[in-house]
Amino acid sequence: MRASDKAYEALRTDIVEWRLRPGTVLGEVEQAERLGVSRTPLREALARLSADGLAVQLRGRGTVVSDVSFEHVDDLFALRRALEVESARIAATQGDPAIFASLRDRFLEARSSISGQAANRESYYLLAAELDQCIDEAVNNRYIEQSLRSLRVHLARVRRLAQDDPQRLATSASEHAAIAEAIAAQNPQIAVAATQLHLHHSLEHIKNHAGSERDTSK
Amino acid sequence: MRASDKAYEALRTDIVEWRLRPGTVLGEVEQAERLGVSRTPLREALARLSADGLAVQLRGRGTVVSDVSFEHVDDLFALRRALEVESARIAATQGDPAIFASLRDRFLEARSSISGQAANRESYYLLAAELDQCIDEAVNNRYIEQSLRSLRVHLARVRRLAQDDPQRLATSASEHAAIAEAIAAQNPQIAVAATQLHLHHSLEHIKNHAGSERDTSK
DNA sequence: TTCAACGCTTTTGTATACATTGAAGCGACT
DNA sequence: AGTCGCTTCAATGTATACAAAAGCGTTGAA
């Protein structure tokens, strides 16, 4: 694995998992020493982070971890609506019904077994990620996929703003099952509706269950 | 201006304007000498091009200009539909009517004066870009804006696949005027409809008026 | 004659030294 | 006393030298 990839992965994970909080300055020499790589690959990593929107490069003052606040959540979900609604529509027209029927069953099963356990929560997120991936494959559109990949990084970061409780996860599982169901039934209209509903509830939950990370815009 | 920016701009322009055709290998030393910069900033430029999707980095064999073929146009327009429809909807709800009314008038005026002149065509593209920018400002969403920026680079590249004739430009001007009109009237539904219509006709035109660059997938 | 392995060449990947720019602090002038 | 400008310093931006890896050609043997 290249040193630049290693540095990028490490920094991206640190940012998404809030170990590097918004506003943190990423000095080149400092981070290069911390990650055990030279400045050259580290600079490449910082450039990629900037392209992802996870950091911004201020001329002269260095690179800082980009800000994430509640005002941006609405913006993020507006893009998510645009992309995922269209993706669901396309997946419903040209996806493999068997795959999504199977996913629906797994979501329904997951709904019953969800608890507050961290491991359980993590496995649910993995299942949701699998649905996303299957939709990606059904859509088979490199441009949409790229935009979605960028979006999901930011979503993962925002997730920490809200506290996911078992109640919400169970509801979310139902909504995901409904999306998979509609795609399996090859019904674009219902797939769109289910997606819109899920996004609406997801956004409402985040806005109503603000976490302790509120004080990011210092 | 930084050397890496200079190299990036130069390469991006060369790729978008088809001076560097798809499949061209961008050797680091070769391009560094051609552009008069060192390898370090040039590598940064190549990384940014890869992030944009304008080039792909093959390990060992270097960076090559990414392929653009007619199969991808549908994909590109699927993303464009998702983003621009949502943008038009949002702009219609929170845009400044005066700005878009003015733009509508300018499109209607442009429609009359369009000819086959290259200068005329260029000024029309600038006007269209101005509409895009005003919509961006009305939407005021950094995430959507970033996705759109990436998309537009690819669109500019694809534009060369089709031959724009005065007829199409005049129709396009009418469609753009309709979009601006709907936003000025603060009517989201009509703004969405006008955008969908424009995108449909635009895509049809490209697919029916294939240019001479067809032989890109060698 | 064909396949495989070895080595050479060309390429990218990394490190470090140097240049340059921007920012902050201090001083002098108004 | 406030502001403008200069100096200094620390950070990024660039260049080049070095290392490593991958391709390709050649040569050998089966």
What is the CATH number for B135?
A: 1.20.120.530
CA of A60 to C1' of C25 (A): 17
Last-in-domain residue among B65, B96, B111: B65
Q: Which of residues 55-74 of A touch strand C (CB under 7 A)?
A: 59-61
Other CB atoms within a 10 A radius of the CB of residue B111 amount to: 18
Helical (H) or strand (E) element with B134: helix B118-139
Give chain A's domain count. Answer: 2
| Residues B142, B194 within the same domain | yes
Q: B61 and B91 share a domain?
A: no
Query: Which residue, B48, B65, B82, sits at the end of a domain?
Result: B65
A161 shares a domain with A57 = no
pLDDT category at B212 given cuts 50, 70, 90 is low
Distance (Å, rounded) from C-alpha B158 to C-alpha B153? 9
When CB atoms are compared, the residue of A51, A83, A143 closest to B76 is A143
Facing residue for B142 by CB, picked from A48, A75, A143: A75
Q: Terminus-to-terminus CA distance in chain A, angstroms?
A: 37
Strand D: positions under 7 A of a protein C-beta atom: 11-17, 21-23
Q: Give B27→chain A minimum CA distance, Å.
A: 18
Q: Are residues B126 and B176 in the same domain?
A: yes
- Cβ neighbours around A200 below 10 Å, total: 13
Taking the CB of residue A201, how many other CB atoms lie within 10 A of it? 15
**A13 vs A63, A148, A154, CA distance in Å?**
16, 18, 12
Residue A35: which CATH number?
1.10.10.10
**Are B87 and B148 in contact, with CB atoms under 8 Å apart?**
yes
Determine the Cα angle at A193 with ends A192 and A199, to 5°: 90
- Please give the Cα distance from A161 to A104 (Å, whole number): 28
Beta bridge partners of B162: B210
Quote the CA–CA distance of B64 and B25 in Å, as a whole number.
4
Closest Cβ opposite residue B141 in set A43, A44, A75: A75
- For residues B127 and B164, state if they share a domain: yes
User: What is chain B's mean pLDDT, rounded?
Assistant: 92
Q: Which residues form the domain of B145?
A: 70-211
Domain assignment of residue A218, yes or no: no
Question: For residue A32, which nucleotide's C1' is closest to its Cα?
Answer: C15
Interhelix angle for B142-159 vs B3-16, to 10°? 50
Going by pLDDT thresholds of 50, 70 and 90, the confidence category of residue A214 is very low
Cα distance from B115 to chain A (closest Cα, Å)?
Answer: 33
Q: Is residue A62's pLDDT more than 90?
A: no
* pLDDT of residue A215 exceeding 50: no
| pLDDT band at residue A218 using 50, 70 and 90 as cut-offs | very low
Whether the pLDDT of residue A184 is over 60: the answer is: yes
Cα A158 to Cα A167: distance, rounded to the nearest angstrom:
19
The pLDDT-based confidence of B156 (bands split at 50, 70, 90) is very high
Count the Cβ atoms, other than its own, within 10 Å of residue A149.
12
Q: Are residue A188 and residue A81 in the same domain, yes or no?
A: yes
Domain boundary among the residues A65, A86, A119 is at A65
Segment A175-190 mean pLDDT = 98
Q: Give the closest residue to B163 by CA, choosing from B99, B108, B206.
A: B206
| Set of chain A residues whose Cβ sits within 8 Å of the Cβ of B51 | 48, 51
Strand C atom within 7 Å of B5 CB: no
The answer to whether the CB of A163 falls within 8 A of the CB of A214 is no
Q: A129: Cβ–Cβ under 8 A, 6 or more apart, which residues? A: none
The pLDDT value recorded for residue B39 is 96
Residue A216 lies in a domain: no
Q: B14 and B89, same structural domain?
A: no
Interface A–B counts its CB contacts (< 8 A) at: 81
